[in-house]
Amino acid sequence: MVFRKLTLISLLILSFATFLIIESCKHDPGIMATPDPDPDPDPDPQFCDTTSISYTSIVPILSANCYGCHNDQTANGGVNLKPYETVVFLAQNGILAGVINHKQGYTPMPPAGKLNDCDLLIINKWVNDTTFEDPGGGNDHPCDPDSVYFENEILPLIVSSCATTDCHGTVNPQDDIILVDYASIIDNGKIMPDDPEGSKLFKVINEDEPQDRMPPEPNEPLTAEQINKLRIWIEQGALNNSCDNGCDTTNVTYAENVWPIIEGKCFGCHSGNNPGGNVFLRNYTEVVVVANDGRLWGSVNHEAGFTAMPKNLPKLSECELAAIRIWIEEGAQDN
């Protein structure tokens, strides 16, 4: 009898122990299971490319946020941000970084609110990493024969060919498109550095259909050489660069010294079916006429009684003027 009671008690104890073991091994599936991935994770912040920043990187930011109040017609605070030189001046003296970063002592800009983080990063990096140079060619950097320079070659080409009255100059610009300086050419010409085919200005200049081409008829199209210069400049990054080979006037010739000036800074306005002032400057025969009668020198030297040339561009450099003067004094030969 006693044995039976002990057996019954043992069975009860064993059953209770088994129950405890089973319960202790149970777990909450929601705790132990591998959590499911978030079905709708937050997207990564917008990618901000700062690998290759140049002035062309900040022009779209200035255009979207600043040009509306700081342009040729409306220069709030006396500041026109269209010229490259103005932006460089503000960058060099700390004003640009001060206003966009809302630093103490500076007027916060833009007034509508601070720029987004990516735009701030791009402008700050450009300011901090750029070695600013005089974009007007007044430096001692020699010209690389394999490079195309904006101030030396591209700006005169675009201004003389496109920035005329009732076209894309500052007076009655067609479609409100102005092409008179680096900022406006990059912005309004929709230049894509390293990508000529993706740049609107290059595409319209290189257009095969006469009705779509720029400059429009009856103006002369750009030459293959000029189009290639524009292509190379864009392929090389569409930089606001310049060079200076010094001034050598020991052996001035028409082909080497005078014609490049005429072609780059005069040809666009003085060709086609409606040349400026009814003066053609398309070749030596036409150039020598105005050289011999005094109009060429009077215009480029901005003498009284003559229309200052080149139009819409700064006066020729002292070296360029010297080359033209010497060539005329030596008989204006076709050499």
**pLDDT tens, position by position, 195-204:** 999 999 999 9
Give tens-digit pLDDT for 278-296.
888 889 999 999 999 999 9
Q: Is 228 exposed, middle or buried (0-12, 13-18, 19+ CB in 10 A)?
A: middle
Strand partners, 70: 75
Place of tokens 């480029």: 300
105 and 164 co-located in one domain: no
Give a yes or no: residue 46 inside a domain.
no
Which residues, in sequence order, are bridge partners of residue 75? 70
* Half-sphere exposure at residue 39, Cβ-oriented, CA atoms within 13 angstroms: 0
Shared-domain flag, residues 124 and 154: no
- Asked if residue 138 lies in contact with residue 99, where contact means CB atoms within 8 angstroms, the answer is no
Spatial CB neighbours of 20, under 8 Å, sequence gap ≥ 6: none
**Are 120 and 162 in a shared domain?**
no
- What's the predicted TM-score (pTM) here? 0.53
Q: Is residue 276 part of a domain?
A: yes
For 89-98, write each residue's pLDDT tens digit. 888 878 898 8
pLDDT tier for residue 85 given thresholds of 50, 70 and 90: confident
Domain boundary among 129, 163, 194: 129
- Cβ-based burial of 319 (10 A; exposed 0-12, middle 13-18, buried ≥19): middle
For residue 259, is it within any domain? yes
Count of other CB atoms within 10 angstroms of residue 221 = 19
| Exposure on the CB side of residue 126, measured as CA atoms within 13 A | 23
Task: Give the domain range for residue 208.
Answer: 150-235
**C-alpha 107: how far from its chain's center?**
26
Yes or no: say if 155 and 145 are a contact pair by the CB < 8 Å rule: no
Tally of domains within the chain: 3
**Rounded CA separation 177/234 (Å):** 20
